[in-house]
C-alpha cells in the first residue's frame, strides 16, 4: 500500500478512537527547535524543572527514541468542558484535571492504534508518548499541521481552540506527511495582558515556565515565593487564564470522553470545604486524577497560599 493510503488508514482509526485531529510529520532532527530549546534553558525558564535539561538529544531527534524512525504521528484529544466549580470563591482547578488522569486514558488509545497499524499495515517498531518522555509535543503538533503554537505557547487549532491533550506515535514506517498551517494570533495580546505573573514574554511565543502559576502549583516542590502572593487569582492547581481569554476558544466543543467527567463532588465543594480538606477526602476526590501528582501536602500548601 502507498504512504498516502497507509496514512489515511491510520487517521481513520485514530478518529474512531476519539482523537479530534491527527497529523503526520517526517521524523527528523529538529534544528530550529533545538536552538530555541537551548536558548530557553540557558535563560533558566525551566526554573526547578531540572528534568528539562536531561536527554536534550532525544528531545530534538526522534530517531534517538525510536531507532530508524520515519514518521511522527501527532494526535490531539479534546478535554474541554463548560462545567465550572459552583462556588466562585472556591480555589480553582484547571479543567484538564477534572476527570481521570489523561496519561492512562490516552496511552491506552495509542497502544490500540499501534496494534491496529501492526495488524492492518504490517509489523512496525514504534513507541507511544503522552507527556511522559522527552518529546517536543507542541512542535511536532505544529509540524504536522494540527494547529499553530500561539503567543501563550499552547497549540491552537482554528476549529476548536486549545483545550487539548497532545500525544505522539513515533514509528519506523514511512507515511505521507501533512504541512504546517498559518499562525492566526495576529496582533492579539489577550493572553499576554491577562497573565497575572507576567509569565508570557511581551512579544508572546515564549513562556517563562518559572513564573507560570501551573509551575508554582504543580511542579515546584518547595515553598511558593512570597513575591507572588495575591497574583494567583485563586488558582490552586494549574491555571487556565491564557486559554479563557483566547478568542479561538469560543470554538471549543465539549469533550465526549466519559473518563474526563469530574468526581460527583468535585465541582460543588465550597471555599470552606477546600480550606478544611482532609487527606481522606483528597484521596477519594483524586484517586485516579492527575492532581495526585501534588500529593495532599502540596495541594494544602497551594490552598493555604491563597488565603
Q: How far apart are CA 222 and CA 70, in angstroms?
A: 42
Q: How far apart are CA 185 and CA 187, in angstroms?
A: 6
User: Catalytic pick from 61, 108, 131, 178?
Assistant: 131
**Same domain for 300 and 225:** yes
**Same domain for 140 and 105:** yes
**Same domain for 269 and 165:** no
Task: Report the run of H or E that residue 126 belongs to, with start and end.
Answer: strand 126-129
Is the pLDDT confidence value at 101 over 90?
Answer: yes
Is the pLDDT confidence value at 96 over 90?
Answer: yes
Average pLDDT over residues 71-76: 98
Is the pLDDT confidence value at 39 over 90?
Answer: yes
Q: Considering the domain boundaries, does residue 256 fall inside one?
A: no
Share of the chain above pLDDT 90, in %: 99
Residue 132's pLDDT band, with cuts at 50, 70 and 90, is: confident
Q: Which residue has the cell 487527606?
A: 279
**Same domain for 243 and 125:** no
Which residue segment(s) compose the domain that 57 sits in? 3-86+98-171
**Looking at residue 133, what is its pLDDT?**
87
Q: Considering the domain boundaries, does residue 182 fall inside one?
A: no
**Same domain for 280 and 153:** no
**114: CB partners within 8 A, 6+ apart:** 124, 126, 128, 169, 171
**Same domain for 197 and 156:** no
Cβ neighbours around 169 below 10 Å, total = 25
**Same domain for 126 and 63:** yes
**Same domain for 145 and 77:** yes
Q: How far apart are CA 286 and CA 293, in angstroms?
A: 10
Q: Considering the domain boundaries, does residue 177 fall inside one?
A: no
Cβ neighbours around 7 below 10 Å, total = 22
Q: How far apart are CA 271 and CA 222, in angstroms?
A: 24
What is the three-class DSSP state of 53?
helix
Is the pLDDT confidence value at 120 over 90?
Answer: yes
Is the pLDDT confidence value at 279 over 90?
Answer: yes
**Looking at residue 148, what is its pLDDT?**
98
Is the pLDDT confidence value at 167 over 90?
Answer: yes
Domains of the chain: total: 2
- Helix ranges (DSSP H) in the chain: 3-16, 31-42, 56-60, 102-120, 137-143, 190-194, 213-214, 241-244, 271-275, 279-285, 295-306
Is the pLDDT confidence value at 24 over 90?
Answer: yes
**Same domain for 124 and 211:** no
Is the pLDDT confidence value at 112 over 90?
Answer: yes
**Same domain for 196 and 47:** no
Establish whether 131 is a catalytic residue.
yes
**Looking at residue 91, what is its pLDDT?**
98
Average pLDDT over residues 222-247: 97
**Same domain for 203 and 117:** no
**Same domain for 55 and 162:** yes
Q: Considering the domain boundaries, does residue 92 fall inside one?
A: no
Amino acid at each position: 500500500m502507498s504512504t498516502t493510503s497507509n496514512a489515511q488508514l491510520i487517521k481513520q482509526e485514530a478518529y474512531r478512537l476519539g482523537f479530534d485531529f491527527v497529523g503526520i510529520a517526517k521524523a527528523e532532527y529538529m534544528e530550529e527547535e533545538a536552538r530555541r530549546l537551548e536558548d530557553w534553558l540557558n535563560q533558566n525558564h525551566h526554573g526547578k524543572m531540572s528534568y528539562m535539561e536531561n536527554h536534550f538529544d532525544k528531545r530534538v531527534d526522534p530517531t534517538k527514541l525510536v531507532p530508524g524512525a520515519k514518521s511522527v504521528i501527532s494526535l490531539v484529544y479534546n478535554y474541554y468542558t463548560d462545567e465550572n466549580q459552583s462556588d466562585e470563591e472556591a480555589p480553582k482547578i484547571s479543567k484538564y484535571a477534572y476527570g481521570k488522569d489523561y496519561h492512562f486514558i490516552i496511552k491506552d488509545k495509542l497502544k490500540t492504534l499501534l496494534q491496529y497499524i501492526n495488524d492492518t499495515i504490517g509489523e512496525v517498531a514504534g513507541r507511544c508518548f503522552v507527556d511522559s518522555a522527552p518529546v517536543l509535543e507542541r512542535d511536532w503538533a505544529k509540524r504536522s499541521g494540527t494547529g499553530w503554537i500561539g503567543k501563550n505557547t499552547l497549540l491552537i487549532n482554528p476549529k476548536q481552540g486549545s483545550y487539548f491533550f497532545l500525544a505522539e506515535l513515533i514509528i519506523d514506517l514511512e507515511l505521507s506527511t501533512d504541512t504546517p498551517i498559518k499562525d492566526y494570533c495576529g496582533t492579539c495580546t489577550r493572553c499576554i495582558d491577562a497573565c497575572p505573573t507576567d509569565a508570557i514574554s511581551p512579544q508572546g511565543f515564549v513562556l517563562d515556565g518559572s513564573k507560570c502559576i501551573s509551575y508554582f502549583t504543580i511542579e515546584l516542590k518547595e515553598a511558593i515565593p512570597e513575591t507572588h502572593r495575591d497574583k494567583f487569582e485563586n488558582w490552586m492547581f494549574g491555571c487556565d487564564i491564557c486559554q479563557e481569554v483566547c478568542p479561538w476558544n469560543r470554538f471549543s466543543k465539549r469533550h465526549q470522553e466519559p473518563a474526563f467527567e469530574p468526581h460527583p463532588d468535585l465541582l460543588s465543594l465550597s471555599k470552606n470545604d477546600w480550606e478544611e480538606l482532609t487527606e481522606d477526602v483528597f484521596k477519594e476526590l483524586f484517586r485516579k486524577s492527575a492532581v495526585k501528582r501534588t500529593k495532599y501536602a502540596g495541594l494544602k500548601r497551594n490552598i493555604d497560599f491563597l488565603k
